[in-house]
Amino acid sequence: MSDTSQSTGPDLHALFGIDGEHATGAEPVVALDRDGGGVGADPGARGVGAPGLDPFEVDDTHGAPAITPEGGVEAHPDFAPIEHEGALDGSPPAGHSGDESAHQDSASAGDAGQWSGITRPSRRGSSQRFLTDVIVDMGIAARGQVEEALETSRIAGTTAERVLLDKNIINQDGLARALAERYGLDHLDLGVFSVDMSAANLVTTAIAKRYQAVPVAFSDKRTLLVAMADPSNVLAVDDIAIMTGYEVRVAVAPPDDIAALISRLDRLEEAVGESGSQFGQDDEEDEVVDLHESSEDAPVIKLVNQIVAQAVEQGASDIHLAPDGHETRVRFRVDGVLADVTTVPRKMAAGVVSRVKIMAELNIAEKRLPQDGRVGLVVDGRHIDLRVVTMPSVHGEGLVMRVLDKASVVVEMDKLGMADAERERFEAACHETHGAVLVTGPTGSGKSTTLYGALKLLNTPEKNIITVEDPVEYEMAGLTQVQVAAKVGLTFAAGLRAIVRADPDVIMVGEIRDRETAQIAVESALTGHLVLSTLHTNDAPSAITRLIEMGVEPFLVASALECVVAQRLARMLCPNCKRRTIIPAQVLRDSGYKAHVELEAYEPVGCRRCGGSGYRGRVGLYEVMQISPEIQKMALERQPSEAIRDVAVAQGMTRLRDDGLMKVRQGRTSITEITRVVGHN
Ligand SMILES: [Zn+2]
C-alpha cells in the first residue's frame, strides 16, 4: 500500500480543505495532531471537539493507506472493520477560490454549485455496524425483510444486500446511501453533482471501469473526491492515489450512475471532431483543425475537447477560461448565467490556452495583446462555431469562447414566447413593404433569434431577402446572407451599401452600431425596403432616442421606424421541481410593481433534471412598440424616452417587466428571475 502522503507535514490549506483566503476560522479548530493520530487510527480518538465533523480529517483522506482490510473486505463488507477515515467534511474545493463560500452547505440543492448532490453521513468514520442494520435503521428495508435476506444469503453463499437487490427490496441508490452511512462517507447523486472534468481526466477510462471509480472533484489542493460504487475496495483507492498523485477522499455512488458517468466522459471526449465547412468567404479560415496532432499534448487536447463538448451538451453560450493567479477557472454561461464548471490546474493552464489559440489559428507567442479568431467544430454530429477572444490579464492569459450552435437557433415565431397581441403587432410590422423593424436588448437577449423568426415568416420565393451579419448564426435557404469581414473592409455599412444596389425587398442588418449604418438603414427603410436590425438599448422607446443620438435626423427616424421590440431572456422554471409559492405584496413592491395583494406563483427548487438550479431553458420577455403618429411627433420633438414610453404604454404597449410578471403568473418563471433580468424598474 502506498504511503505517499504520510510523510508530508500539516498543510493548513489542505487541512482546511480551502485556500488561504478562505481560512476564516469558521471551522472549529480542534487538533493538529494528524501525524500522531496516523491514518487508520480509531476515528473516535480524534475530532475532539466535534465528533463526526472533524475538519482536520480532511487530510487523512488519501484513505488508501489507512484502510486495513482485515478479513476479506470485498466478500464481506459487513464484517470488515475498516477505519474508513471520516475525513470528509464536505468542504468546497480549494480550486474554486473565487466567489464561493467556503462553508456552502454541500447538501443543499438550492444552487447549481459544484457541491450540489452530496449527502453527508450522520457521522464521519466507519460506524462498525453491520450494513444490514444500517439498511434497517435508515428505513431502506424492513427488519423482517433483512432478516430473511440474511438467512437466504447464508444458504446461497452471497451477501444479504445482494439478495435484497435481487428481490428488488432495495435499489442501487438505496444500497449506495446505506454504504455511505455505514462507512461514514458522503453519498453522491451524480445526476445532480457537477463533475469536474480536470479531476475526471486524471484516471483513464479503463481504470475507472475496472474500479467502478471516477474522480469527480478536487476536494482541496491535494485531495481528489472520488465517486466509488464499492467504498471497501481499498486496492482501488490505493491505486488511484498512486496513479494521480493525489490523496483520495471516497464518496459513494450507485454502480449504474458511475457506469453512466464513465460512458458520458468517453462520449464527451469523442464528441468533438473536425469541422467540415465553415461560414465566411475566407478560405484560410475554413481550414480544418486536426484535433489529434501530437501525442504529448494528448491530456491537454482531451481536456479542451471535453470542456467544449460539455459546454455544448449543457447548451452554454460562452466558455470562459479565467486565470486567478493559482489555477485557471473554467466557467460556462448557461441560460444567461455564468457558473464555475471546473478548474484547470496551473501546470496545464498554459497548454489549454495555447491549444485553443492553435485551434483558432491565433499567434500563440503573443500573450500580451488581445486576439480574436474562430474555429469550426463538429460536436456530437452538430456543427459548432467557436469565436475565440484572448484576454491578457494580470494573472496570465485567459480567453472567452462564444459557442455558436447553428442548430439551436429557434426560428418559429410561435415558439418565441411572445404573447398573442405582441406577436400580431410585430408580424404586422414585418409584413409592411417598407419601414424599419428593430429588435433591441443587450448581448445574449435573443435578438437574432427574433430576427430569424421574422425572416422565416417573410421567406417566400417572390421576395428577395439579403442579410449582412456578423456572424451568420443560422443559414436559411432562400436568403442571400453576407458575412461581415472587417479585415477586408466589408463592414455592416459597406455590406449594406452593396445590398441596397442588389434590388432587395427585405434587408436584415445584424446590428446598427455606428452612424453610417444607422443612416443607410433608415434611408433604405424610407425607399421601399423593409429593414430588420438590432440595437443595443434597454427598452423599445430608447431606440428612437438612440438613433437620433447617433446622428440620424429626427424626421427620418420618425418616418422610417415601423415597430421596435425590446427583449430579454428569462430562465424558465424546471417543470419537474418548481414549487407553488405565494409572493407577498411587499416583495412585488420591492421588485418595482404597484402591488396591493400577494400573488400565487412558483419558485425554483432544484432537482436532478435541472442540475439543481431549479431552471431549465429560457423564455423571451417582449415589449413591442408600434410607432403611432403621437410617437412620431414625440420623436420629431426629441422628447426623452421616458415620455415616449408613457405614451406607448397608454397606447397598449406591455413593458418588459410587465410581460415578465405575466410569465411569473403563468408559472413559467420566477419573480427573482424577472428582477434579475429586467431590474427593479
Ligand atoms: Zn428541476
pLDDT, residue 474, reads 81
Q: How far is the CA of 34 from the centre of ligand 1 (A)?
A: 41
Q: How far is the CA of 92 from the centre of ligand 1 (A)?
A: 23
CA of 573 to the centre of ligand 1 (A): 8
Angle at 552 between CA 550 and CA 557, to 5 degrees: 115
Query: pLDDT tens, 515-558?
Result: 999 999 999 999 999 999 999 999 999 999 999 999 999 999 99
Measure 189 CA to ligand 1 centroid, in angstroms.
Answer: 14
In the reported structure, the alpha carbon of residue 609 is separated from the centroid of ligand 1 by a whole-number distance in angstroms of: 5
How many A from CA of 668 to the centre of ligand 1?
13
**Cα(108) to centroid(ligand 1), Å:** 14
Per-residue 3-state assignment (H helix, E strand, C coil) for 127-187: CCCCHHHHHHHCCCCCHHHHHHHHHHHHHHCCCHHHHHHHCCCCCHHHHHHHHHHHHCCEE
Going by pLDDT thresholds of 50, 70 and 90, the confidence category of residue 567 is very high
The full DSSP string for 364-426 is TT--SS--EEEEEEEETTEEEEEEEEEEEETTEEEEEEEEEEGGG----GGGS---HHHHHHH
CA of 443 to the centre of ligand 1 (A): 27
104 grid coordinates:
456552502
d(CA 422, CA 428): 10
In this predicted model, what pLDDT tens digit does every residue of 594-624 receive, in sequence order?
888 889 999 999 887 787 889 988 889 999 9
Neighbours of 17 (CB within 10 A): 31
CA of 343 to the centre of ligand 1 (A): 25
Please tell me the distance between residue 663's alpha carbon and the centre of ligand 1 in angstroms.
18
Distance 574 CA to ligand 1 centre (A): 4
Centre of ligand 1 from the C-alpha of residue 478, in Å: 40
Q: How far is ligand 1, taken at its centre, from the CA of residue 237, in Å? A: 33
Mean pLDDT (whole number) for 485-500: 88
Contact 478, 505 (CB under 8 A): no
The model's confidence at residue 410, banded by pLDDT at 50, 70 and 90, is: low
Q: What number of CA atoms fall less than 13 Å from residue 457's CA on the CB side?
A: 22
In the reported structure, the alpha carbon of residue 608 is separated from the centroid of ligand 1 by a whole-number distance in angstroms of: 6
CA 522 to centroid of ligand 1, rounded, Å: 46
Q: Which of 6-15, 65-74, 572-581 has the highest mean pLDDT?
A: 572-581
| CA 466 – CA 508 distance, rounded (Å) | 6
Which residue from 350, 332, 351 is spatially nearest to 341, judged by alpha carbons?
332
State the distance from the centre of ligand 1 to the C-alpha of 611, rounded, in angstroms.
Answer: 7
The band of 455, judged by pLDDT with boundaries at 50, 70 and 90, is very high
Spacing, Cα 610 to ligand 1 middle (Å): 4
Best CA proximity match to 131, nearest among 170, 165, 178, 174? 178
Q: How far is the CA of 612 from the centre of ligand 1 (A)?
A: 6
Residue 667 CA to residue 669 CA, distance in Å, equals: 6
- The count of C-alpha atoms lying within 13 angstroms of the C-alpha of 681, restricted to the half-sphere facing its C-beta, is 3
d(CA 117, CA 103): 15
Question: How far apart are the CA of 607 and the centre of ligand 1, in A?
Answer: 4
CA-closest candidate to residue 593, choices 601, 603, 583: 583
Give the pLDDT of residue 170.
92
Strands 465-469 and 506-509: parallel
- Expressed in angstroms and rounded, the spacing between residue 601 Cα and the centre of ligand 1 is 16
Instruction: Return the minimum-mean-pLDDT range out of 42-51, 274-283, 560-569.
Output: 42-51
**389 CA to centre of ligand 1 in angstroms:** 33
Whether the per-residue pLDDT at 97 is higher than 80: the answer is: no
- Per the DSSP assignment, residues forming a β-bridge with 382 are 379
What is the CA(577)–ligand 1 centre distance, in A?
A: 4
Cα–ligand 1 centroid distance for 615 (angstroms): 6
- Residue 225 CA to ligand 1 center (angstroms) comes to 25
| Neighbour order of strands in the sheet with 615-626 | 480-483, 465-469, 506-509, 530-535, 435-440, 561-573, 615-626
pTM above 0.85, yes or no: no
Residue 21 has, within 13 A of its CA and on its CB side, a CA count of 10
Distance from C-alpha of 437 to C-alpha of 426, rounded to nearest angstrom = 8
Say how far apart CA 227 and CA 261 lie, in whole Å.
Answer: 10
Q: Which long-range contacts (CB under 8 A, 24 or more apart) does 48-53 make?
A: 51/123, 51/124, 52/86, 52/121, 52/122, 52/123, 52/124, 52/125, 52/184, 53/89, 53/124
At residue 225's C-alpha, the angle toward residues 106 and 117, to 5°, is 35
Q: How far is the CA of 335 from the centre of ligand 1 (A)?
A: 14
- Rounded to the nearest angstrom, the distance between the alpha carbon of 605 and the centre of ligand 1 is 7
Q: Give me ligand 1 centre to Cα 604, in Å.
A: 8
**How high is the pLDDT of residue 393?**
87
Q: Say how many Å lie between the CA of residue 116 and the centre of ligand 1.
A: 12
Distance separating alpha carbons of residues 163 and 161, to the nearest angstrom = 5
Q: Grid coordinates standing for 594?
A: 404597484
Q: What is the pLDDT of residue 289?
A: 42
Give residue 272's pLDDT band: very low, low, confident or very high (50, 70, 90). Answer: low
Ligand 1 centroid – CA 176 distance (Å): 22
From ligand 1's centre to the CA of 667, what distance in Å? Answer: 14
Least confident of 101-115, 235-249, 289-303: 101-115
Q: What is the mean pLDDT of the chain?
A: 78
The CA 109 to ligand 1 mean position distance, Å, reads 10
Give distance in angstroms: CA of 193 to centre of ligand 1: 13
Cα(498) to centroid(ligand 1), Å: 49
Report CA(412)–ligand 1 centroid distance (Å): 26
